[in-house]
């Protein structure tokens, strides 16, 4: 998930240390651009961090970030008062080195944008939506091995040619929702809450490469105000969502992804997930939340144990 303040790709893999990579512009972190790796001891309830080299981070923001295999992928973004870029930056985790991929002449490549959403779906980097003055609703999939982008298109119905454009290809598949920010992948399914582009209703959307987009009504207790999306993480295979009830951050909503049943979890402290892109770094541990530049680690499925991480 992406916010202008900074982004955190989900770096939880079962065979690796419990860690998260934090990227953010200097105004969020006491004037110093941030590129840190935070490692968390989930047993001892402690966290350590170290700075990583990141030559491009100064002044950059509003980019989309996702973990795909051994890479942290950063697409788009802009500096203050500048035009968006279409650059793809890749951080190789084993060697801790950056490479930069630029648009090649004649190749299919996503348009420059800010405020997009990047996630890993079925092992591939998927970039959804964003804006370049005007909202975008297209979807792109990146092939890491071939360094090639593919615009996601509608499938033709069996036995027909389907609707095709002037070049003989089916039309691009667009998101039915206004925004994909705040979404999260649980298993092989992308979940997001946003306004429907036609009806204006707040809905819960899911997307898979096989089934495409589906929508369902949100339960009454998710309190989604106008022009606001949820902030979600995946814990123990369930979907965890923070309340967005006009500043009431002290509750969690949990959905069982198998049954679709929701429940409300009360908390006795403020949850700051909505200020960042929170991520799960262990089956029951969440990293995220900038409160005056200080992220936090939330332990337990109820997120009641909290420690700050001063970067």
List of domains in the chain? 2-155+173-308 (2.120.10.80)
Tokens of 246: 């006009």
pLDDT value of position 190: 92
pLDDT given for residue 28 in this prediction: 54
Instruction: Say yes or no to pLDDT of 99 above 80.
Output: yes
Closest C-alpha among 184, 254, 270, 257 to residue 219: 254
Distance separating alpha carbons of residues 192 and 204, to the nearest angstrom: 6
Q: What percentage of the chain reaches a pLDDT higher than 90?
A: 29
Which of 230 and 26 is assigned the larger pLDDT? 230
- The three-class DSSP label of residue 121 is strand
- Is residue 250 within 8 A of residue 243, CB to CB? The reply is yes
Backbone angles phi, psi at 274, to 5 degrees: -70, -15
Q: What is the pTM of this model?
A: 0.84
Is 111's pLDDT higher than 90? yes
Look up residue 204 and give its two tokens: 């819960």
Cα 30 from Cα 32, distance rounded (Å): 6
Of residues 93 and 282, which shows the higher confidence score? 93
- DSSP assignment of 64-132 equals EEEEETTEEEEE--EETTS-----EEEEETTTTEEEEE-PPTTS--PPP-BS-EEEEETTEEEEEEEEE
User: In the prediction, which pLDDT does 5 show?
Assistant: 38
**What phi and psi, each to the nearest 5 degrees, are found at residue 97?**
-130, 150
- Each residue's pLDDT tens digit, 30-44: 556 678 888 888 888
Give the whole-angstrom CA distance, residue 161 versus residue 98. 43
- pLDDT per position as a tens digit, 142-153: 998 888 999 999
> Which of 44-53, 115-124, 125-134, 160-169 comes out lowest in average pLDDT?
160-169
For the chain, the average pLDDT equals 79
Give the contacts of 293 (CB within 8 A, at least 6 positions apart): 28, 29, 30, 311
Tokens found for residue 245: 């009830």
Higher pLDDT, 69 or 33: 69
The confidence score (pLDDT) of residue 160 equals 40
Query: Is the pLDDT assigned to residue 246 strictly greater than 70?
Result: no
What phi and psi, each to the nearest 5 degrees, are found at residue 140?
A: -130, 145
- How much is the pLDDT for 243? 55
- CA 24, 72, 65, 245 torsion-angle sign: negative
């Amino acid at each position: 998930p992406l916010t202008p303040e900074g982004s955190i790709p989900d770096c939880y893999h079962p065979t690796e240390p419990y860690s998260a990579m934090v990227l953010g512009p200097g105004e969020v972190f006491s004037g110093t651009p941030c590129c840190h790796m935070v490692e968390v001891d989930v047993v001892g309830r402690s966290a350590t961090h170290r700075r990583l080299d990141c030559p491009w981070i100064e002044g950059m923001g509003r980019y989309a970030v996702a973990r795909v295999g051994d890479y942290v992928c950063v697409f788009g973004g802009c500096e203050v008062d500048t035009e968006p870029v279409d650059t793809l930056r890749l951080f190789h985790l084993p060697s801790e080195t950056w490479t930069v991929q630029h648009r090649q002449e004649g190749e299919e490549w996503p348009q420059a944008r800010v405020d997009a959403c990047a996630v890993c779906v079925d092992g591939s980097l998927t970039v959804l939506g964003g804006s370049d003055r005007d909202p975008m609703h297209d979807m792109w999939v990146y092939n890491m091995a071939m360094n090639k982008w593919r615009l996601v298109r509608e499938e033709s119905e069996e036995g027909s040619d389907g609707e095709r454009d002037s070049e003989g290809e089916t039309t691009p598949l667009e998101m039915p929702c206004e925004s994909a920010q705040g979404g999260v992948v649980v298993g092989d399914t992308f979940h997001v809450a946003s306004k429907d582009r036609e009806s204006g209703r707040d809905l819960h959307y899911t997307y898979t490469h096989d089934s495409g987009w589906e929508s369902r009504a949100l339960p009454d207790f998710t309190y989604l105000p106008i022009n606001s999306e949820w902030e979600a993480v995946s814990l123990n295979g369930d979907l965890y969502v923070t309340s967005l009830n006009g500043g009431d951050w002290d509750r969690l909503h949990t959905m069982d992804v198998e049954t679709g049943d929701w429940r409300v979890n009360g908390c006795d402290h403020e949850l700051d997930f909505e200020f960042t892109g929170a991520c799960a770094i262990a089956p029951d541990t969440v990293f995220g939340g900038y409160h005056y530049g200080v992220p936090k680690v939330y332990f337990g499925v109820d997120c009641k144990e909290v420690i700050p991480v001063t970067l």
